Structure 1
Amino acid sequence: MIIERAELFLFELPFIKSYQSSYGKMNQKRSIIVKLSTSDLSGYGEASTLPFPFYLPEYTDTSYIVLKDLIIPKIIDKNINHPSEINQLLSHIKGYNFAKYAVETALWDLYSQKLKTPLYQLLGGTNQPIQIGGAVGITKDKNKLLEEISLKIEQGYKRIKLKIKPDSDIKPLEIIRNQFPTIPLMVDANAAYTLKDIDTLKTLDNFNLMMIEQPLGWDDIIDHAELQQQIKTPICLDESILSLDDTRKVIKTNACKIINLKPGRVGGLTKAKKIHDLCQKNNIGLWCGGMLESSIGAFFNLSLATLDKFIYPAALNTNDYIDDIVTYKCLAKNGTVKVPNFLSDFEVDEEKLRHYTVALHQFNSKS
């Protein structure tokens, strides 16, 4: 596959309502689409970053600069036989996993089209419906909280994730459990706590939670291992897992029992597949989280989630948007979604994409 042309779209897609977590509030998602073209095919990928460096150091505007100045120029006119080759080609660039992921997924889209083979099949998955979980942001309004939980249950979501932070944790959980004592429930702290909060974190054991996601530092492994020894609820790591080597370390130290595997965070589907295989060998449960992707990004997440060790409901946030950049939006029905064979099944709507684009850069063959 010789990459002859590329387009880089920096776009902003508005939410139906503000999204609140421990690291901030968003009214829209600022994200990046990469379009790569050969002589006869075009493939799309999404750099599903956040608009600020509060989740990880990489954020949307830095990803855009790295893609524009360093990554895309490196691949124009390159003959790439398999998407995994991008890892070696870009190995000199340290970090920027989301930016690399956008290019790798566009290559997977091209490769899947070229072979006329569904992406999930190329990754080793099976075409089974994926269970989807719903997420609820931080709110101090009891009635609003219960309304949001009730809506997620009515929509058929298979588990509920509640965002928490210090002083917004025990009380909302008491409210939820008093009203909904048996719903599958987990919490996500986005690294808002330290071991000084051990008493609060131990109290979370009382709420019959599926897992506590990333309670401690975003790049920590050691303190999570200490915490997991002191609490019964499984710890799920998210931000701490940036590579296969990080995965090896958390397994060795027993720092968690579950991993939220986001392919953009670890630099691509190829790397995510290796992490999946290591977790499968070591009985670490997986679920495929989300970064508030459009339907384009969601397609790649869900294709990965067809692999065997993804045993917990995945994330899908396309319902949160007023609009999307495809003709046929990726949506869950009764808490499940069937993964399409090809990204083209959604039909990328370039008119919509350009409507929401705030910056565009084009690249052409140098020859």
Structure 2
Amino acid sequence: MPRVCGLEVFRLVLPYGRRPESILVRLTDYGGMTGWGEVVDSDPKTWSILQERLAPALIGVDWEHPDELGVVPGGSAADMACWDLWARMRGVPLAHALGGSRTSLMATVRIGAERNLDSLIARVNRHVCAGYAHITMDVHPGWDVEPLRAVRMAYPALGIGLDARGAYTDVEALEALDAYTPSMIERPFTGPGGLADHADLQERVAAPVLLEVGSAVELTEAVAAGAGRALLMRPAALGSLREVRRVHDIAAAAGWEIACAGGQGTGLARAATVAAASLPGCALPCDVAEPPRSAQIVTPPVGVDGGVVAVPLTQPGLGHGIDEDQVRRLAKESHRA
């Protein structure tokens, strides 16, 4: 039975991109076992909540399973740390603790809009040569049919997903892309609220329309509306691994395909995404591209080898060691309770 006797919270500034902030939670059991969690979040409220409310909610509290804790203050970072601690104490990989059955995952790599078609084809070629069998192209009005046609002509057998990032208002414009056999059309319209437009598009195209939702309630509404046939599942955005399983189960029961995606960070949140992607309904290629080495705190790194992501099954919990020296080097602020 886990019983937390201490916790630390770290606020890190990551050395890449727009220098996003990552918050790490480290829980320690009376037996000396630790569990780690992470969320990439620059909202100062998250840091304040973890400082003020996490310790009273967890320290000295007996619990048999993370689901018993309900909504843990601090969101996905604290929830992940509870799951990691529980799985480590049980001696089981987090993937198995969640109900996962996959030992490896096909990966996708995201391709942003390029300056010209030659640059696009060259970039796709680099990833194909690295072993990727699937890519996800960003598309928007003015950069869609022509680049998709060029990639399809160059690589007839390549899996090509399309991420519209909510840039479209015209169903007909997206319908034209279906002629080039995309594997999915992701986030075609802004937000899940325009379910009628999503349903209209899904009726017109053979490719699954891939929706991203923020809760099981939103997914249930989308399924009822026939607003797609596939789900983009981001564990960090769903707030807890319990909600991840609920969303997975709803989508799988409806016959929807599922793709998992991670976020920026140090590798911890991506490790949890890999565990979630091992669930049986997550058959679509996952997006867990390796973060820069300068930001990695996990060993072995979470990354892709030959277009495939291995699910760590030989070690309990998240399945990765933590470089605590690197954590403290990157930490902008820390709190101990």
- CA 1:296–1:88 in structure 2 vs 1: closer, same or farther (change >3 Å)? closer
Deviation, 1:62, is 4.2
Structure 1 unaligned blocks of 5 or more = 16-25, 52-59, 91-98
In structure 2, which of residues 81, 90, 107 is the aligned counterpart of residue 132 of structure 1? 107
In structure 2, which of residues 282, 293, 305 is the aligned counterpart of residue 310 of structure 1? 282
In structure 2, which of residues 16, 20, 24 is the aligned counterpart of residue 33 of structure 1? 24
What does 1:14-93 correspond to in 2, within 5 Å?
A: 14-15=15-16, 26-39=17-30, 40-49=32-41, 60-88=43-71
Contact 1:235 1:255 in 2 (8 A): yes
- Looking at structure 1, the residues matched to 167 and 94 of structure 2 have their Cα atoms a distance apart, in angstroms, of 36
2:191 matches 1:227? no
- Corresponding position of 2:7: 6
- Three-state SS of the structure 1 residue aligned to 2:110 is strand
Contact 1:165 1:193 in 2 (8 A): yes
- Corresponding position of 1:93: none
Deviation, 1:163, is 1.8
Contact 2:108 2:285 in 1 (8 A): yes
- Corresponding position of 2:167: 192
- Looking at structure 1, the residues matched to 102 and 158 of structure 2 have their Cα atoms a distance apart, in angstroms, of 27
In structure 2, which of residues 319, 326, 329 is the aligned counterpart of residue 352 of structure 1? 326
- Corresponding position of 1:208: 181
Contact 2:138 2:162 in 1 (8 A): yes
In structure 2, which of residues 250, 253, 259 is the aligned counterpart of residue 287 of structure 1? 259
- Corresponding position of 1:96: none
Contact 1:2 1:79 in 2 (8 A): yes
- Looking at structure 1, the residues matched to 48 and 302 of structure 2 have their Cα atoms a distance apart, in angstroms, of 29
- CA 1:314–1:353 in structure 2 vs 1: closer, same or farther (change >3 Å)? same
- Looking at structure 2, the residues matched to 89 and 337 of structure 1 have their Cα atoms a distance apart, in angstroms, of 29
- Looking at structure 2, the residues matched to 350 and 151 of structure 1 have their Cα atoms a distance apart, in angstroms, of 34
Deviation, 1:27, is 4.2
Deviation, 1:313, is 1.4
2:139 matches 1:164? yes
In structure 2, which of residues 179, 184, 191 is the aligned counterpart of residue 218 of structure 1? 191
- Looking at structure 1, the residues matched to 187 and 318 of structure 2 have their Cα atoms a distance apart, in angstroms, of 35
Contact 1:128 1:306 in 2 (8 A): yes
| Count of residue correspondences | 332
| Residue-by-residue CA offset, 1:14-37 (whole Å, 9 max, x unaligned) | 34xxxxxxxxxx444432211111
Deviation, 1:200, is 1.7
Q: 166-175 or 204-213: which moved more?
A: 166-175
- CA 1:214–1:78 in structure 2 vs 1: closer, same or farther (change >3 Å)? same
Deviation, 1:323, is 4.0
- Looking at structure 1, the residues matched to 130 and 291 of structure 2 have their Cα atoms a distance apart, in angstroms, of 11
- CA 1:251–1:344 in structure 2 vs 1: closer, same or farther (change >3 Å)? closer
- Corresponding position of 1:148: 123
| Residue-by-residue CA offset, 1:56-114 (whole Å, 9 max, x unaligned) | xxxx5443333334445433333332111232555xxxxxxxx4111111011100111
Structure 2 unaligned blocks of 5 or more = none
Contact 1:187 1:211 in 2 (8 A): yes
Q: Which amino acid aligns with 1:192?
A: A
Contact 2:236 2:262 in 1 (8 A): no
Once superposed, what is the RMSD of the aligned Cα atoms?
A: 2.2
- Three-state SS of the structure 2 residue aligned to 1:10 is strand
Contact 1:134 1:158 in 2 (8 A): no
- CA 1:344–1:215 in structure 2 vs 1: closer, same or farther (change >3 Å)? closer
- CA 1:201–1:10 in structure 2 vs 1: closer, same or farther (change >3 Å)? same
- Looking at structure 2, the residues matched to 215 and 321 of structure 1 have their Cα atoms a distance apart, in angstroms, of 33
- Corresponding position of 1:243: 215
Deviation, 1:352, is 0.9
Deviation, 1:160, is 0.2
Quick one: percent identity of the two aligned structures? 24
- Looking at structure 2, the residues matched to 214 and 344 of structure 1 have their Cα atoms a distance apart, in angstroms, of 29
2:76 matches 1:117? no
Deviation, 1:295, is 2.1
Deviation, 1:270, is 1.3
- Looking at structure 1, the residues matched to 113 and 277 of structure 2 have their Cα atoms a distance apart, in angstroms, of 27
User: TM-score by structure 2 length?
Assistant: 0.90
Deviation, 1:258, is 0.4
- Looking at structure 2, the residues matched to 192 and 277 of structure 1 have their Cα atoms a distance apart, in angstroms, of 29
- Three-state SS of the structure 1 residue aligned to 2:152 is helix
- Looking at structure 1, the residues matched to 308 and 59 of structure 2 have their Cα atoms a distance apart, in angstroms, of 38
